[in-house]
Amino acid sequence: MIGIFDSGLGGLTSVKALHAIVPLCDISYFGDTGRVPYGTRSREILIKYSMQDMRFLMSLGVNAVLTACGTVSSNCLDELRTAFDIPIIGVVEGASLKAASVTKNGIIGIIGTGATINSGAFERELHKINPYIKVIPQACPLFVPLVENGFIGDDDEVTELVARRYLDSIDKSGADTLILGCTHFPIITRILQKVLPNVTMINSGAEAAALLATKVNPPAESGSIRYYISDEPDNFRSVASIFLEHELTDPVQKIDIEKY
Ligand code: DGL
């Protein structure tokens, strides 16, 4: 069984991608909906939260974990890998490899939460692959509450207005590739693509799922998906259905994450 976690709904982009690649692998998803957002937190708090998230998934007996959160992947991966003796895959590596392989002009934009952009993790990873890549980072914290609250329709004027403001510097830089370094962002890809029509968008959650499938050899089981969250399930169910592009009928259980 593979564990996947995020601060809220964003990690569902990884659930969808992993289930499509290895449909028989059981997945347990934890969305920390009671403590979202993570992207505005200090590193100390992020380590505390992600350790608890990991301990909860470990209690279910997972064989490997995908930290489907750009913020955790950028700030806490080393600590998690030191503390837990199972494979842990973040979202930075796969997206960076993909972006470096598709860019033609070597200019890559990165959008993520404030904590992700401030960490410089994507820049370091891209420069490890190719030191000549020009990186244009931009924090886009407002996208997270917009997505969590369902402002995700293709014609959503509010999200488009925010996107035009945030993406201006990337547009002017001439970047031909954009890493969606927060797993909440792929759900608004079509809005982002309207603002940057000629830019290739890289879905970091999906790239991480593909990387995990090659690195970990996920087991063939019953293909069940179980969802755990730390707040009431109502809003989660309705927005999750949009993320997953089907009605969420699988069980969703509220848990007390502070116990872990
Ligand atoms: N989806 C997460 C990320 O990739 C977290 C967003 C947040 O909670 O601020 O960064």
Q: What is the pLDDT of residues 105-161, one digit of tens each?
A: 999 999 999 999 999 999 999 999 999 999 999 999 999 999 988 899 999 999 999
Q: 92-102 vs 204-216: helix axis angle to the nearest 10?
A: 110
Rounded Cα distance between 86 and 113, Å, is: 27
Pocket probe mutation, ligand 1, options 4, 7, 49, max atoms within 8 Å of Cβ: 7
The pLDDT value given to residue 194: 97
The pLDDT value given to residue 218: 85
Contact 228, 257 (CB under 8 A): no
Over pLDDT 90: what percentage of the chain? Answer: 88
The pLDDT value given to residue 148: 83
Contact 244, 15 (CB under 8 A): yes
The pLDDT value given to residue 28: 97
The pLDDT value given to residue 245: 84
The pLDDT value given to residue 21: 95
232: how many CB neighbours lie within 10 A of its CB?
Answer: 12
Domains of the chain, first to last:
2-90+207-259 (3.40.50.1860), 92-204 (3.40.50.1860)
Rounded Cα distance between 6 and 201, Å, is: 21
Ligand 1, closest atom to CA 10? 1
Determine the distance separating the centroid of ligand 1 and the alpha carbon of 4, expressed in angstroms. Answer: 13
194: how many CB neighbours lie within 10 A of its CB?
Answer: 14
The pLDDT value given to residue 237: 87
Whole-structure pTM value: 0.94
Question: Which entry of 25, 76, 140, 182 is annotated as an active-site residue?
Answer: 182
Determine the distance separating the centroid of ligand 1 and the alpha carbon of 91, expressed in angstroms. Answer: 11
The pLDDT value given to residue 19: 95
Contact 186, 245 (CB under 8 A): no
CB-defined site of ligand 1, < 6 Å:
6-8, 10, 36-39, 69-71, 112-113, 116, 144, 182-184
Beta strands in the chain (DSSP E): 2-6, 27-31, 64-67, 88-89, 107-112, 134-139, 177-180, 200-203, 225-229, 252-254
Determine the distance separating the centroid of ligand 1 and the alpha carbon of 157, expressed in angstroms. Answer: 22
Q: Which residues does the chain have with pLDDT short of 50?
A: none
